[in-house]
Amino acid sequence: MADEELLQAYRRTADNQWLGYLLHRYTLLLLGVAMKYLKDRTEAEDAVQQIFLKALTHLPKEEIANFKGWLYILMRNHCLQQLRDKTRFADEQALSNVPAAPGNHDELMLHEYNLEQMTEAIKHLNDEQRTTITMFYLQKKSYDQIIMATGYTFMQVKSFIQNGKRNLKTILLKKLSERGQ
């Protein structure tokens, strides 16, 4: 059966067996993509399992024209998020191991002031932007975690974060110019 026929059978019956057939076809493709990005077999196998779970949750909600392409993009984005999370964790570990120098008090105060300004500016965003910006930047949640927590689609989360960043910049620049006058 073609991918479209299996998808239609799955949508018609809600029987995960059809989805299982479909996902089984692309297991090696997904594993190859994950290996390309993650360079570790165990992590790649875990990523394939996570993509299978994502497919189970996303397929009933989304209309997919090209299943293979959709699955590939889902895996690629998942792997890139994994790599970002690893990098972010490594950066945080490196920063936490740096002792505070005695001369850094002013920098620490400036950082704290900037954080207060940012927190205040976030309050001026609309609900969706405020929620996604807070979850992504302050709570360090991935797009997938935000999607699961809010029910927004991937594109909505991406858009809310992009627009929220732009609006934050505008708000902060406006406050800065008001303070300077």
The burial class, CB within 10 Å (0-12 / 13-18 / 19+), for 62 is exposed
Give every CB contact of residue 115 below 8 A, 6+ residues apart in sequence.
none
pTM above 0.75, yes or no: no
Look at the block and give the residue holding tokens 């895996």.
75
Q: Which residue has the higher pLDDT, 129 or 179?
A: 129
| Domain covering 103-181, topology | Arc Repressor Mutant, subunit A (1.10.10)
**Position with higher pLDDT, 112 vs 66:** 66
The hierarchical CATH code for the domain 1-98 is: 1.10.1740.10
Domain ranges of the chain: 1-98, 103-181
In the predicted model, is pLDDT for residue 103 greater than 80? no
pLDDT at 163 over 90: yes
Residue 97 has pLDDT above 60, yes or no: no
